[in-house]
Amino acid sequence: MSYPINKDNDTWKAELPAEKFHVLRQAGTERPWSGELLEEKRPGVFHCGACGADLFSSDTKFESGSGWPSFWDAVNPDAVELKEDRGLGMVRTEVLCAQCGSHLGHLFDDAYGTPTGQRYCMNSLALEFSPQDS
């Protein structure tokens, strides 16, 4: 698929730290409970760690107990792309940044008690956080 922000892997590799490149461009996963944004509770916006696109609002972040930052919805339906992922011997829904195609995490339908019932399970390394001005 073609994205509004389209760079080759060599360019991404030069721009991103190795651990972010692994997650964002090679669909890696950080260890659970290790991400610096897991406990982020301030009001603000979570952006793509590769291109800076707005992805999630702190208003939709919740504690899922999964070990990764979780959100019950994206900032808008066009912010993310959903793609079937048949890796690891199971069928999951991969979440990609709609602006640059970077891997963010996976979407699950197990967030009972949230308005959507969905859990966007994201890697902290795939996101940047901008606190809301007070």
Active-site option among 51, 97, 100, 121: 121
| 8 Å CB contact between 106 and 121 | yes
121 included as an active-site residue: yes
- Closest CA relative to residue 102, chosen from 75, 132, 122: 122
Tokens standing for residue 60: 């939709």
User: Distance (Å, rounded) from C-alpha 97 to C-alpha 5?
Assistant: 10
Which residues are catalytically annotated? 121
